[in-house]
């Protein structure tokens, strides 16, 4: 599930909620949450809590996911908080709680939720993507670019963060070789014509800037 957020320049970037289906299978089976790190150990097994609490947490988190899809932010906040009170190792619930809080303008708590989700799911690029989006909306483009880069360290060809990093660099008027590489990777993946147009313009801008930078550096 995605939704759009608007940068100061009017260009669009998107949040993505975390799907719970695979995660909940592991929870209901009493196993470790897939992708979760050490922080989830307290509440990730049948020995750590009653099975009825694990199942109830899964049910609440699934309801919270549906509320996210329907943009019922306050309901999503309540449901995910209730799920996490029973099982605080659900990375997807932390992530989806962060989205609902961000859309409710509760940005400080949203940022903490995205950070917690990133810790619990160390290979998932989406928590840092959405944390970057939060910073983009605040106009903190340098921080946003750093967070998009952290997301891309987890998944170098993740299109959502490639798009976001390109826009953040554009807002900063930054032109680097890694930035040009990101644009080229995004162009190879992108299917949306409006995004392709943005990426094509950025490729030209960055390439021209790099030529000029090297020309200046070569002058005696």
Q: How many other C-beta atoms lie within 10 A of the C-beta of residue 51?
A: 10
16-20, 123-127, 153-157, 171-175: least confident range: 16-20
- Of the pLDDT bands very low, low, confident and very high (cuts 50, 70, 90), residue 219 is confident
Tell me the C-alpha distance between 23 and 25, whole Å: 5
Which 3-state string (H, E, C) describes 57-126? HHHHHHHHHHHHHCCCHHHHHHHHHHHHHHCCCCHHHHHHHHHHHHHCCCHHHHHHHHHHHHHHCCCCCH
pTM of this prediction exceeds 0.75: yes
- Of the pLDDT bands very low, low, confident and very high (cuts 50, 70, 90), residue 166 is very high
Q: Tell me: the pLDDT tens digits for 106-151? A: 999 999 999 999 999 999 999 999 999 999 999 999 999 999 999 9
- Averaged pLDDT of the chain: 84
Q: CB-hemisphere CA count at 13 Å for 185?
A: 18
pLDDT score for 106: 97
The tokens for 54 are: 């694990």
pLDDT score for 15: 57
pLDDT score for 10: 36
Tell me the C-alpha distance between 116 and 108, whole Å: 13
Q: Which domains are assigned to the chain?
A: 19-122 (1.25.40.10), 124-220 (1.25.40.10)
Q: What is the mean pLDDT of residues 63-74?
A: 95
- Of the pLDDT bands very low, low, confident and very high (cuts 50, 70, 90), residue 53 is confident
CA 83 to chain centre: 21
């Amino acid at each position: 599930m995605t939704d759009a957020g608007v940068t100061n320049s009017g260009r669009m970037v998107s949040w993505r909620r975390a799907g719970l289906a695979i995660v909940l299978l592991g929870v209901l089976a009493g196993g470790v949450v897939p992708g979760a790190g050490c922080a989830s150990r307290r509440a990730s097994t049948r020995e750590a809590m009653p099975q009825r609490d694990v199942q109830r947490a899964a049910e609440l988190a699934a309801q919270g996911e549906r509320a996210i899809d329907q943009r019922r932010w306050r309901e999503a906040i309540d449901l995910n908080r209730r799920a996490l009170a029973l099982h605080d190792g659900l990375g997807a619930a932390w992530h989806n709680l962060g989205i609902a809080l961000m859309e409710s303008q509760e940005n400080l708590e949203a940022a903490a939720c995205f950070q917690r989700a990133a810790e619990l799911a160390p290979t998932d690029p989406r928590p840092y993507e959405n944390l970057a989006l939060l910073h983009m909306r605040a106009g903190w483009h340098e921080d946003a670019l750093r967070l998009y880069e952290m997301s891309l360290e987890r998944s170098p060809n993740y299109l959502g963060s490639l798009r976001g990093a390109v826009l953040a660099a554009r807002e900063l008027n930054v032109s680097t070789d890694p930035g040009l590489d990101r644009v080229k990777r995004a162009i190879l993946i992108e299917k949306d014509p409006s995004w392709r147009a943005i990426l094509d313009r950025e490729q030209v801008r960055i390439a021209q800037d790099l030529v000029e930078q090297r020309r200046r550096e070569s002058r005696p």
